[in-house]
């Protein structure tokens, strides 16, 4: 039995990973069904418990449970797309291709158009969880990503002046920190270390910048098999690129990834520190050092 005789449409969102119990309770709270348990039993009895897709739907209020389930199974009007922090723009298209269920030809077109439209947007394609229409154009996708960056991250001129960096330099340093750190707790300290090095005229010596430089050289054409973040070897420290922060002092020409909010905030709110060095052991635990001697001891103790 339908909860209403009127065919008013209601916006209904199913989050990723929602159980049928949660979906049923939310449908009841929204006034789309009368009985969440009956919804659950209907799905279980027909082997549909794991087939309800996530995303955004528009559901009339006059549907009975069988008709409502059929509408859900037709698929959402908008689908979830989650972009992790710290990826370079070439890695983005596959997330949309998968969520939009694009054919091989459409997937190639989407990827090519995305890379063409984002040539100058590295660092500003905000990693987040989004709802998109599967029919969204590449231009619409890029606009949502960049607008979200501008909405989420608004440093004041005073904050920029206090660390002596421009907005693009902040994003560039944050993109390095995103790739170089493991936890939000350590990021302000690592930001302080890099700012110490910049002020002292030291090279940053960030492995992630070498990874970016080498992949940009090797992977001219974006492919699924390209190793965008392959661990650098000792010889790679001599790779000639302005993105190689072992070879060239200061910040690289631009961002190397798209950082999350904690890395961005770490740069504009760095922790003042006497540390100049850091390493991570194989378990991701970070160890800081104030001197090269102490740093080398950490290497011997935790990495050998």
pLDDT tens profile 65-81: 999 999 999 999 999 99
**What CATH number is associated with residue 51?**
3.30.1490.480
Q: Any idea which residue has 């905000």 for tokens?
A: 126
283 domain residue, yes or no: no
Degrees to nearest 5, angle at CA 144 with 83 and 100: 55
CA angle 252–254–257, rounded 5-degree value:
105
For the segment 155-164, the average pLDDT, to the nearest whole number, is 96
**Cβ-contact 8, 58 below 8 angstroms:** no
Q: Is residue 292 part of a domain?
A: no
Measured CA distances, 81 to 40, 92, 126, 183, 251 (Å): 26, 10, 12, 23, 31
Average pLDDT over residues 51-62: 94
Beta strand 129-132 pairing with 277-280: unpaired
CA angle in degrees (0–180, nearest 5) for 276-232-145 = 85
Instruction: Please state the length of the chain.
Output: 304
Q: With 90 as the cut, is the pLDDT of residue 221 above it?
A: no
Q: In whole angstroms, give the CA distance from residue 169 to residue 268.
A: 11
- pLDDT for 220 equals 73
Query: What is the domain extent for residue 35?
Result: 9-77
Question: Do 146 and 172 reside in the same domain of the chain?
Answer: no
pLDDT at 223 over 70: no
Predicted model pTM? 0.88
Confidence tier at 138 by pLDDT (50, 70, 90): very high
* Span 112-123, average pLDDT: 96
Residue 296 within a domain: no
> For 93-105, what is each residue's pLDDT tens digit?
999 999 999 999 9
Is 279 among the domain residues?
A: no
């Amino acid at each position: 039995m339908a909860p209403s005789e009127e065919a008013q449409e209601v916006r209904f969102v199913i989050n990723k990973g929602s159980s049928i119990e949660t979906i049923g309770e939310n449908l009841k709270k929204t006034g789309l069904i009368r009985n969440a348990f009956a919804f659950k039993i209907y799905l279980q009895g027909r082997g549909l418990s794991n087939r309800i897709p996530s995303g955004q739907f528009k559901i009339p209020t006059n549907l009975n449970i069988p008709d409502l389930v059929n509408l859900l199974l037709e698929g959402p009007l908008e689908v979830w797309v989650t972009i992790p922090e710290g990826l370079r723009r070439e890695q983005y298209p596959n997330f949309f291709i998968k969520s939009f269920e694009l054919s091989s030809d459409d997937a190639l077109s989407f990827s090519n158009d995305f890379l063409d439209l984002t040539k100058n947007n590295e660092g500003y394609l905000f990693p987040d969880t989004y709802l998109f229409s599967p029919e969204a154009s590449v231009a619409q996708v890029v606009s949502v990503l960049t607008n979200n960056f501008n909405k989420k991250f608004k440093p004041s001129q005073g904050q920029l002046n206090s660390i002596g960096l421009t907005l693009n330099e902040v994003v560039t340093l944050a993109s390095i920190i995103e790739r170089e750190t493991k936890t939000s707790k350590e990021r302000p300290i690592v930001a302080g270390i890099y700012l110490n090095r910049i002020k002292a005229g030291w090279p940053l010596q960030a492995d992630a910048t070498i990874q970016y430089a080498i992949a940009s050289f090797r992977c001219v054409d974006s492919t699924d098999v390209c190793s965008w973040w392959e661990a650098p070897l000792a010889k790679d420290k001599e790779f000639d690129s302005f993105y190689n922060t072992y070879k060239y002092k200061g910040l690289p020409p631009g961002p190397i990834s798209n950082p999350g909010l904690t890395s961005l905030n770490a740069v504009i709110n760095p922790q003042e520190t006497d540390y100049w060095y850091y390493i991570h052991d194989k378990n991701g635990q970070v160890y800081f050092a104030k001197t090269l001697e102490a740093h080398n001891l950490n290497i011997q103790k935790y990495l050998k």
